[in-house]
A and B are shown apart, each in its own frame.
Chain A
Amino acid sequence: MAGKQTRTGRPTGLRLFRNLNAKVAAVPMVLTTLVVFVGGTLWTVLYSFTNSKLLPRMQFVGLDQYKRLWSNDLWNAAIWNLAFYGVMSLVFTIVMGFVLAVLLDQKIRFEDTFRTIMLYPFALSFIVTGLVWQWILNPEMGIQEVVRRMGFETFTFDPLHNPSTVLYGLLIAGLWQGTGFTMCLMLAGLRGIDEDIWKAARVDGIPKWKTYVYVVIPMMRPVFVTTLVIVAAGIIKLYDLVVAQTSGGPGNASQVPAMYVYRYMFTAQNLGQGFAASTMMLLSVLIVLIPWAYLEFGGKKHG
């Protein structure tokens, strides 16, 4: 009704009611961004400076929560675990994804089959992933035991119960779940490269690997950046996989920040700590995100 009278580009009428339907359609977005994303974030940051315990309360204590946070062994362990896991995961996901994509791009037979096999874990949840790998890596009945029964009595492969290797155990599962997706992104990138490039390289007698390294990879920069950002954003959220596979153990050897936040916010009833920890998580995302956003959107207008 009201929408019928409003036309875009007509200067008459109330400004607010011009293009009304589009504004109505955007109400959920406006509410989400303002109330949840901006409002929720500011709320948590603000309350991270209070001494909220069981309930949020406005009693400012300055940086006390942050001092307590950084002197907490659990938090420090969580940060370093995530940093280690994150770097390893980023490197391996990108490298494996690219290599697999290159292999699949060699005009091979059964390409669809291979791709289906590599991508199906991506459809599964981290809970399922974590539980399956927990079972396969089970020292009493999993890979270790199978190899031992084959005659290698002293074979040890028990990453999940050793503090110094547990993160690799998580990595095996995480890469299993996620590399297929990266491979698909990379494959789409490879297929988007003009066939003429390959012809030109062949005419010039450039070896295949050189063409990949010096021509194809630089041309795929946007794909790499997209992949990097998507994967990095996923890593910071790392939570379900750890809960399912190791529950943070042995000891604190596979604790991650998201688990710390959950513990203090919802079970230890120390809200202030939870807020401070989640604010630190936000900060670490911003450290990654701001330079990227600056590089991507800083110079030119996007969109």
Chain B
Amino acid sequence: MVDAAIIITPPSVAVSAVQPRGAKPKARFSGSNIMLYGTLFVVSVYYLLPLWVMVMTSLKGMPEIRMGNIFAPPVEITFQPWVKAWSEACTGLNCDGLSRGFWNSVWITVPSVIISIIVASVNGYALVNWRFKGSEVFFTILIFGSFIPYQIMLYPIVILLRELGIYGTLYGLILVHTIFGMPILTLLFRNYFSSLPEELFKAARVDGAGFWRIYFQIMVPMSLPIFVVALILQITGIWNDFLFGVVFTKPETYPMTVQLNNIVNSVQGVKEYNVNMAATLLTGLVPLIIYFVSGKLFVRGIAAGAVKG
């Protein structure tokens, strides 16, 4: 058996390989089928339960939460917790709700995503098609750098941002996200660009196209799927960041995740679980929407990127 594995050449993982193959399964109530679907059903319950509980809790009033069952749907639906979470929930002295964190996160995420993708795609392209002496060395350091725990670089970056005069501002955080997004994005783009036929690049060179022209007129149009993947990766990654947000911003510029944690885990006051869950759901909404809208691309992207890398 093991010999068979060696003789047959390892298959190349195509991006489209995630599609199921063969004929559609026949409906059969065999024992193994019941086991299979039963297991999948139980697993699905584990995965869906938190989302269900979040939504249900956020639509109940506090008296009903104290009396009832967290898994039960609300008897009386109320949107008050959502309103309160968005515009009234308190963090410290500020009682203007999560909306501030939301807009901070928007102003952090949008520029960070755009800048990091531009920088990394051009960089990946240069690494594939315009190698220069030492480019591979820097790339190797970059990839190894992504394994270095962030903690060891936090303080030097604080000093760096202070010297640049942007410590505590959204600009500082945008710079940090661009820096730390670079390894994975560069890897992603480099792998994708190197899978494009080299003849294309050569032909363009023969026709006299230069660095930027080939990038904009050949590489970018041919690589739109990977740009979308990078976009998904970065939006969710940056939106979900907590550590950089808490270290490099001030309370006025806290991103949504940090503010959410402060609201829910604050020790003062009576705990309002419905407001907490509405706030949690609000914070998770952006990545969830991205995920459900992009669906298959999200899956294909992370699989292709990781397996090829």
Quick one: which of B5, B44, B152, B264 contacts A117, CB cutoff 8 A? B44
* CB interface residues, B 269-309, toward A, < 8 Å: 273, 276-277, 280, 283-284, 287-288, 290-292, 295-296, 298-299, 302-304, 306-307, 309
List the A residue with the shortest CB-CB distance to B178.
Answer: A28
**Which of A39, A111, A188, A210 lies in contact with B156, CB distance below 8 A?**
A39
Interface flag for B48 (CB, 8 Å): yes
A180 to B44, CA, bound (A): 11
For B148, what are the chain A residues with a Cβ–Cβ distance below 8 Å?
Answer: 37, 41, 282, 285
Q: Would A218 and B2 be within 8 Å (CB), given that A21-B130, A135-B276, A303-B136 are in contact?
A: yes
Give A114 to B182 CA distance when docked, in angstroms.
32
Identify B141's interface contact among A8, A37, A141, A188, CB under 8 A: A37
User: B interface, how many residues as a size bin?
Assistant: 35 or more
* Residues on B with beta carbons closer than 8 Å to the beta carbon of A4: 210
A40 in complex: contacting residue of B135, B153, B212, B276, CB < 8 Å: B153
Q: Known interface pairs A132-B50, A146-B69. Does A26 touch B151 (Cβ–Cβ under 8 Å)?
A: no
> Is chain B's binding surface mostly helix, strand, loop or mixed?
helix
State whether the Cβ of A87 lies closer than 8 Å to any Cβ in chain B.
Answer: no
Beyond A23-B132, A142-B70, A196-B8, whether A33 also contacts B145 by CB under 8 A is yes
Interface residues of A, dominant DSSP: helix
- Please tell me if the beta carbons of A215 and B1 are within 8 angstroms of each other in the complex: yes
Write the A260-290 contact mask toward B (1 if CB under 8 angstroms, else 0): 0110011000010011011101100100010
A32 and B142 contact, Cβ closer than 8 Å, known pairs A185-B306, A261-B151:
yes
Q: Find out whether the CB atom of A103 lies under 8 angstroms from the CB atom of B46.
A: no
Interface string of B117-140 (1 = CB under 8 A from A): 001001101110011100110110
| A119, CB-defined interface residue at 8 Å | yes
Sample 22 A-B pairs with CB under 8 A, ordered by A number: A23-B132, A25-B130, A29-B123, A33-B138, A33-B145, A100-B43, A114-B40, A114-B44, A118-B43, A127-B257, A132-B54, A135-B70, A141-B273, A176-B47, A189-B307, A192-B13, A194-B8, A195-B21, A201-B1, A243-B242, A244-B265, A278-B154
Q: A107-B20, A118-B47 are in contact. List 10 more A-B contacts (CB 8 A).
A: A3-B210, A22-B135, A26-B123, A40-B152, A103-B39, A125-B287, A128-B260, A188-B17, A226-B307, A261-B151
